[in-house]
Amino acid sequence: MADLARVFDEGDLDRIAGGRASFEITVPAPWADRTCEVAVPRRLACALCEGGGCDACERRGGYRLEGTERRVTVRLPSVLGGRTRIRIGRPFGADSVIGVLLLDVVLGEEPSASCSVVPEPEQPLARASEQTTARNRAVFAAVATLVLVVLLIFLIRGVVD
């Protein structure tokens, strides 16, 4: 999936320029290991000072996102604990003021209004095996027809002789 947010390792993330913003979402337990789309608000808190104001956020305590595309698609952890932090590098592209988004995933009863789970695509393996079965049937039918024709030829010859 091309639009799935890329998750970088710790070292790669440190090299990404730009602000560090954090955002918290609540998801229910059945969402574990599912793909989730998150609508991020226009204003995000600075992850370094948590709103207090630091050099990174120019004392603003947060970041204001430009433009309308503020959706992030992430794969949720396979095991949801009380709180899991997902680091997403360049979540809104190279031009965004945000370099790394720290998404705090909190386990709860009801999902946040900003989140929706992405429907899983059909199982490609099941479809492949159905296709194989159909092809096998076609091959079997062709072979059976050939055998019948050969048998008929032999029978006709036997009658003629």
Work out how close the CB of 61 gets to Zn ion at its nearest, in angstroms, rounded to a whole number.
6
Q: Is residue 54 part of the contact set for Zn ion (CB under 5 A)?
A: yes
Whole-angstrom distance, CA of residue 88 vs CA of residue 92: 10
In the complex, the smallest distance separating the C-beta of residue 121 from Zn ion, rounded to whole angstroms, is 39
Q: Which is nearer to Zn ion, 3 or 55 (CB)?
A: 55
For the segment 99-128, give every residue that binds Zn ion (CB under 5 A).
none
Comparison of 51 and 81: residue with beta carbon closer to Zn ion: 51
- Name the β-bridge partners of 101: 21, 88
Rule CB under 5 A: say whether 57 interacts with Zn ion: yes
**Residue whose C-alpha is closest to residue 115's, from 32, 36, 18:** 36
Q: Does 88 bind Zn ion (CB under 5 A)?
A: no
Residues of this chain that bind Zn ion (CB under 5 A): 46, 48-49, 54, 57
